[in-house]
A = this chain, B = another copy of it.
């Protein structure tokens, strides 16, 4: 038999790392963490298993990198809707609420990914650090937005109040995101969005509806 090695193309470290991370996310999303084996990830990325250890010291490292990537992507997707400058902070807040509870942010795949990762947050220190970092990034961004909205309507708040508001509104968004992602067919179109807007509005004492 002709023993022919697999022919391959040298890629830049960045591209390869990227491909491995994407392959990991794809597998966890569709089959859960237990499907994301070293061999499956390599196959998904069109590469042989050994290469993973060349780019990541351990499999855990790859998983961590994938987690951070996912959370960053989520945050981006949520706040991307604010890019096009909206007339007011209040309007931006409403847009943010809608973005949080509708696709692509609220999505079974995103939830599956998130759940796949969150379970390792408890025991893995590195994963917990990533979790804290991304969670606070998100909440702080929300807090800034809330602060701007209050200033806009001439009711500036102190930092302690803003913290409480941000925690509360973040909880609403998290909860609705969760429910919309887990049971996407149990809510009418726009229902979660409307509930989110009126709830956040009630909590802040602001009128968010147009």
Interface residues in chain A, defined as those with a beta carbon under 8 Å from any beta carbon in chain B: 30-34, 108-109, 111-112, 115-116, 118-123, 131-132, 135, 164, 167-168, 170-176, 178-179, 182-183, 186-187, 191-192, 194-196, 198-199, 202-203, 205
- CB neighbours (8 Å) of A203 from chain B are 198-199, 202-203
Question: Mind listing 15 A-B residue pairs with CB under 8 Å?
Answer: A32-B119, A32-B120, A32-B122, A32-B123, A111-B122, A112-B119, A115-B119, A119-B119, A121-B182, A164-B198, A168-B172, A170-B179, A171-B172, A171-B174, A174-B179
- Give the docked Cα–Cα distance between A32 and B172 (Å): 27
Partner of A170, one of B115, B120, B175: B175
- CB neighbours (8 Å) of A135 from chain B are 179, 182-183
Q: A31-B123, A119-B33, A183-B132 are in contact. Are A195 and B168 (CB under 8 A)?
A: yes
- Give the docked Cα–Cα distance between A195 and B196 (Å): 17
- Give the docked Cα–Cα distance between A178 and B182 (Å): 15
Q: Which of chain B's residues has its CB closest to A116's CB?
A: B119
Q: A32-B120, A34-B33, A111-B122 are in contact. Are A174 and B178 (CB under 8 A)?
A: yes
4 nearest interchain CB pairs?
A171-B175, A174-B175, A175-B175, A115-B119
- Give the docked Cα–Cα distance between A203 and B172 (Å): 11
- CB neighbours (8 Å) of A191 from chain B are 164, 167
Q: Are B164 and A171 in contact (CB under 8 A)?
A: no
- CB neighbours (8 Å) of A173 from chain B are 175
- Give the docked Cα–Cα distance between A131 and B121 (Å): 22
- CB neighbours (8 Å) of A34 from chain B are 33-34
- CB neighbours (8 Å) of A111 from chain B are 118, 122
Minimum distance in angstroms from A94 CB to a CB of chain B:
15
Partner of A175, one of B33, B109, B172: B172
Partner of A167, one of B32, B131, B132, B179: B179
- CB neighbours (8 Å) of A109 from chain B are 122
